[in-house]
Amino acid sequence: MVNGAFFGGQDDFSYGAPAETGLGLKVSIFADRASLRDQLREDAQGAGLRVAETSPVNRLLADDAPPLGDVVLLDCPLVDAETLAALARLDGRAARGGAALVVSTSVDGLEDVFGCLDHSSPQIMVSPSRAERLVALGQVMAQLPGRRVRELSDEDRMVLLRLTQQVTEIGERLNSLSPGAAASPAVRDAAAFRFDPPAADKAAGDALVAPAKPQLPEARMVRRIIRQRQLRGRFFDADLFADPAWDMLLDLSAAHVEKAKVSVTSLCIASGVPPTTALRWIGQMTEGGLLKRVEDESDRRRAFITLSDKAVDAMASYFAELGNAVHRLV
């Protein structure tokens, strides 16, 4: 038992009495499926949050739409014109008010959802399990002190930290009990992805004559490396070699040379991990300065992912350091 939760299967558990934290943190729930709204309400209350709203998604478009809670849980597997309008309004309101968003969608809806939510820094999941939703809830709770609840006392912050850890443990425990499921990562420190050029590169700028700037190799060479890495999955369990950050950096490096645009769906596929996991990496690598979000000039509802200038330089320096050995990489 963890924080009053009993485990039987992936989605078979129950909470004890809702936690009384005294923090007054509120959650708004928007989902068209009534059964999912009930499940999200139970999970939010079990995490010690006070449920302020449970409604269908189109409630966000009403003239008397309710105020957003500190956390917003939203589910939109199917994205139509009305849903797009609701997402756009939610994005602006959350960005202005500092609400933390956890949004679930489907593979088919991912591009539209990612394109609409460009100001509120949401956590986006693709067809998540209940366990994955709980882990995401724990992650956004960890971020709350830096968003809307700066007025929390030190004691309240400690209470929130303990709740965050417990909610995350529930999700991870559930996920580990699911047959064939890999353990979900704990709340990650975005600093792990913070990019700082090597000291030698910084010093190079002080030289009287700067050396020639390394360039990325030909795209076909990078694609060859990608194919060789994927080949291992024919003979071994692909999870044994999971390295989504590197696989995405390679794919974006080749696209950079080809001057090709990479959608978030395409990049998720290139990562070799489930879409929800890939989206988490994309978000953290973006925060760390390795990736950039680029709006589609012809369609404001779409967005692409590209390497940052610093990441391009780093990848070029990496390949330059390898020299001729790049032809023998596996």
pLDDT in tens, 160-180: 455 555 555 655 565 555 544
The CATH number given to 199-328 is 1.10.10.10
Per-residue pLDDT, 5:
43
Minimal CA–CA distance to 69: which of 85, 57, 52?
A: 52
* pTM of this structure: 0.75
pLDDT above 70 covers what percent of the chain? 70
Give me the residues of the chain with pLDDT under 50, please. 1-10, 17, 20-22, 147-150, 152, 157, 159-160, 179-194, 202-205, 207, 330
Minimal CA–CA distance to 93: which of 56, 47, 158, 148?
A: 148
CB crowding 69-86: b at 16 or more within 10 Å, else e: bbbbbbbbbebeeebbeb
Q: Name the architecture of domain 6-177.
A: 3-Layer(aba) Sandwich (3.40)
Per-residue pLDDT, 8:
42
Minimal CA–CA distance to 326: which of 195, 200, 223?
A: 223
For the chain, the structural domain boundaries read: 6-177, 199-328
